[in-house]
Structure 1
Amino acid sequence: MNPLDGVKNYQVYYGHPTAAILKDMQNYDLVIIEPLHYTKAQVEQIKARGTKVLGYISVMEVATWNTGLMSKLQSGDFFTRNGQRVHYSEWDSYLTNIASPHFQGLLLTEIQNQVVAKGIDGVFMDTVGDIDNEHLNNPTVLKQQRDGLVNFLKQARARYGDLAMVQNWGFDTLETSTAPYVDGIMWESFNADTIKSDAWSQNMIKKLQAVDAKHSVKTLTISTRLSADSHKLAKDSGFIHFHEADAYVNWNAGLVTRTQDAAPTPAPVAVARQRNRLRRQRRSQLKRQHRNWLQRQRRNRLQRPRRSQLKRQHRNRLQRQRRNRLQRQRRNRLRRQRRNRLQRQRRSRLRRQQQSQ
């Protein structure tokens, strides 16, 4: 049974809680929070009326502000390319190597300390999409990273049993590797105007529906514009939707109700995470566009030899036709010349015969 069964609404909030926010969270079927900001007692208060809670964990990146985790990393925990660590200067974070057993152990400890120990129902695994974004063009590395993620998920399942596991993005990785081990996947920027007009998105909706039918993996969607249209599109697709207008750092009631108490000043860490997430989404979009452009270029390159061949065949056919036409003209000219010569010879012979008589 999927722990997300029965969830009809949810909200993502990475800021600090107030008493009013904790009470309002009870109106939701599911909330996703930054566990560092919560005590076990606060989590129990949220769950008092049946609300499920997921705690944020980043599995494919470590930001330098997270000094506690950074200090525990070994060299093999960082993913390196050409001997260099992959650093995202825009948000000062490093790409990690999920195939590293040591790093997997660190993540499992994070889950124990920040999720399990606080009575949180499951883990929201951010940055999983980096696997597809960074390694799609290197099948060997792609398989290593996907296998590493699967091994991490298997260990989490073995240790923590029915703990809910939801990954953020990484659609290809879900389809090929993680579907049997996760309960859900999040699709951010699920905006109706883009989704309806984008062939890739339409195809992905069908793939996620097929994954759900086979493995019971629920899709959580988030829109930032066209709330009503996006919500309807998600509902028609069988997805669970939330419209986010405040970048996850201000509590808003979204689909349920809205508290009158002002939310506290957003935590710098939460603001940075949201900014980073939006940048990753934009980067993913640009990479898809670039990949599609490369595919079009490849198709054009493959089609060019065929077009060139057809042009050569057409040119050769025209040349043969011209040669044939010239040859016919020459044969006709030679025939006329021969016929005229024969006629002249015949006239000359007739004149000589008349003269001899």
Structure 2
Amino acid sequence: MKIKKTQISFFPSLLLCVFFLLTLSFCTKAESPKQDYGVFLGMDTKDLHKLKDYKMVVLEPSNFSAEQIQEIKERGTKVYGYLNIGALENFRPYYEQFKKYTLAPYENWEEEYWMDVSNSQWQDFLIKSLGKQYAAMGLDGFFLDNTDIYYQYPKEEVYQGLKTILTGLKQYSLPLILNGGDTFVQKSIEDGSALSLFDGVNQECVFTKIDFTKPSYLSQDKETKAYYEEYLEKAKTAGLSVYLTEYQANSELSQEIDRYCKDNGFLWYNAESLELR
């Protein structure tokens, strides 16, 4: 009888142990760490659920409502809004209003045109209209594109125009991250104005590069990679936060990027494609 009683008590205990281990395994999987950073400019509302896996994301604000932005934030994700300050896309509802201030087509992006950032009407629109509208949606920061206009047109009025736009957007008390714009960033570091104008930089294609003729995604050449690494070291030393966006980095290259970013305190995102969905 003792043996039978022992067996009877053993099996429920065994079942409880198995149940506990399965539950632990499930919880561990469900609570896997969030990824630090993601850029999803091509994402629309049907894929909102994907953002819960990220601590910080960059989105196109015009694709979402303020309520949806708040919903994302309530899941513990910071939301930065994309704002193109140095170029104008032909699909924007304000394209007809500002196309007369465009300067030239944007190479490899046939729907986009470089903008005259020294134009006061463009500056006012970005600051007092679009910037104000987006800030009111509850964003955690702005992700500002195409300060590379200063590389295309290295004129003092272009440099000052960008500074005017950034200074104006600062009134919303949100962090500003510049995507690209290394020529502008380095000049602002040199003249001591960088930290008063913006808070961080995102650099695309430090370790990878894009062949726009296909398109396809390749490893970056050594010279360009070395240049960007030196530039990002300057940004870090100047007190700016640093982010990287790469495209289809394979497993081996991803490990290299991981080491580089961990060593320097940078965050990075491995995008599947230019569409950034």
Common topology (TM > 0.5): yes
Amino acid at match of 1:210: K
- 1:71 and 2:96 correspond: yes
CA 8–26 in structure 1, closer or farther in 2 if over 3 Å, else same = closer
> Which residue in 2 is equivalent to 1:150?
163
- 1:10 and 2:37 correspond: yes
CA-to-aligned-CA distance 1:65-114 (integer Å, 9 cap, x gap): 22x21232274x333xxxxxx1347513321111111111111211112x
Amino acid at match of 1:52: K
CA separation in 1, counterparts of 2:246 and 2:140?
24
Q: What displacement does 1:63 show?
A: 1.8
CA separation in 2, counterparts of 1:194 and 1:146?
32
173, 189, 194: which one aligns with 1:179: 194
Amino acid at match of 2:105: H
- 1:60 and 2:86 correspond: yes
* Matching of residues 241-260 of structure 1 within 5 Å: 241-250=268-277
Amino acid at match of 1:212: K
129, 132, 141: which one aligns with 1:112: 132
141, 149, 172: which one aligns with 1:160: 172
Q: CA RMSD in A?
A: 2.4
Question: Unpaired runs of 5+ in structure 1?
Answer: 1-6, 80-85, 251-357
Amino acid at match of 1:110: L
Amino acid at match of 1:160: Y
SS in 2 for 1:99: coil
> Which residue in 2 is equivalent to 1:323?
none
SS in 1 for 2:68: helix
CA 44–102 in structure 1, closer or farther in 2 if over 3 Å, else same = same
Amino acid at match of 2:242: T
Number of corresponding residues? 223
SS in 2 for 1:236: helix
Greater percentage in helix: 1
CA-to-aligned-CA distance 1:255-309 (integer Å, 9 cap, x gap): xxxxxxxxxxxxxxxxxxxxxxxxxxxxxxxxxxxxxxxxxxxxxxxxxxxxxxx
- 1:40 and 2:72 correspond: no
202, 217, 220: which one aligns with 2:226: 202
CA separation in 2, counterparts of 1:248 and 1:179?
30
> Which residue in 2 is equivalent to 1:238?
265
Q: What displacement does 1:182 show?
A: 1.0
Q: What displacement does 1:235 show?
A: 2.5
Amino acid at match of 1:229: E
> Which residue in 1 is equivalent to 2:181?
170
Asked if the contact 2:59–2:82 (Cα under 8 Å) also holds between the matched residues in 1, the reply is yes
CA separation in 1, counterparts of 2:229 and 2:75?
32
CA separation in 2, counterparts of 1:199 and 1:94?
28
Amino acid at match of 2:172: Y
CA separation in 1, counterparts of 2:137 and 2:246?
30
Greater percentage in strand: 2
Asked if the contact 1:29–1:52 (Cα under 8 Å) also holds between the matched residues in 2, the reply is yes
Q: What displacement does 1:234 show?
A: 2.7
Q: What displacement does 1:15 show?
A: 1.6
Asked if the contact 1:179–1:211 (Cα under 8 Å) also holds between the matched residues in 2, the reply is no
CA separation in 2, counterparts of 1:145 and 1:26?
39
SS in 2 for 1:222: strand
Q: What displacement does 1:209 show?
A: 2.4
Asked if the contact 2:149–2:158 (Cα under 8 Å) also holds between the matched residues in 1, the reply is no
CA separation in 1, counterparts of 2:255 and 2:167?
38
Asked if the contact 1:205–1:237 (Cα under 8 Å) also holds between the matched residues in 2, the reply is no
> Which residue in 2 is equivalent to 1:211?
235
Identical pairs, percent: 21
CA-to-aligned-CA distance 1:30-81 (integer Å, 9 cap, x gap): 1000111111111111111332111111111112222x21232274x333xx
> Which residue in 1 is equivalent to 2:57?
31
Greater gyration radius: 1
> Which residue in 1 is equivalent to 2:4?
none
CA separation in 2, counterparts of 1:36 and 1:52?
17
Asked if the contact 2:115–2:149 (Cα under 8 Å) also holds between the matched residues in 1, the reply is no
CA separation in 2, counterparts of 1:8 and 1:164?
20
CA separation in 2, counterparts of 1:168 and 1:88?
16
Task: Give the TM-score normalised by the residue count of structure 2.
Answer: 0.72
Q: What displacement does 1:194 show?
A: 4.7
CA separation in 2, counterparts of 1:230 and 1:198?
14
> Which residue in 1 is equivalent to 2:205?
189
Asked if the contact 2:146–2:180 (Cα under 8 Å) also holds between the matched residues in 1, the reply is yes
